[in-house]
Amino acid sequence: MATDAKRTGLNNQKRGVCVMVSDSLGTADTASTGSTIATLPAKSMITGVSLMVSTASAASDTLDVSYAGTVVANELAADTTAGTSIAGTVLAAGSYSATGGDIVVLDGSQPVDANFAGRVVVEYIELDKVTGEYTD
């Protein structure tokens, strides 16, 4: 029998997609060693990554986002207009981890400058939590 996904009664009361927003990031947070902004649980899959720019970096400056040691969003433009959200392309090969892992923000091919400030938004699914069944 198929799962009843209507939001009636006790059906589909579990969350589907989770969203995590980092604290404000600057150049000290994006150095070549990177900065861990979150740790996802086992059996999680990243479905989206965005960069919300508060203060733009110089032209062509970029950030990368890795999950469990693999870059999942490459070359997010940090030089965009302040107040703009840039959606990154999630690289499917690294978007799932059976054991979970850290989400790390790193400098891209052209490191951000001292002016940069922004936040990373990560959308993900915990595969064991998306059953559509009701729980307390």
Per-residue pLDDT tens, the chain, 136 aa: give them: 444 455 555 554 556 788 888 888 887 777 777 889 999 989 999 988 999 998 888 888 899 999 999 999 988 888 888 777 777 778 776 788 999 999 999 988 998 888 889 999 999 888 887 766 655 4
The domain of 66 spans 18-127
Q: Is 12 within a domain?
A: no
Q: Is 110 within a domain?
A: yes
> Does the predicted model carry a pTM greater than 0.85?
no
CATH of the domain at 76: 2.60.120
What single string gives the DSSP state of each residue in 18-84? EEEEPPPB-GGGSSTT-EEEEEEPSSEEEEEEEEEEEE--STT-EEEEEETTEEEEEEEESSSPTT-
Q: Is 136 within a domain?
A: no
**Cα dihedral: 101, 91, 107, 40 (round 10):** -20
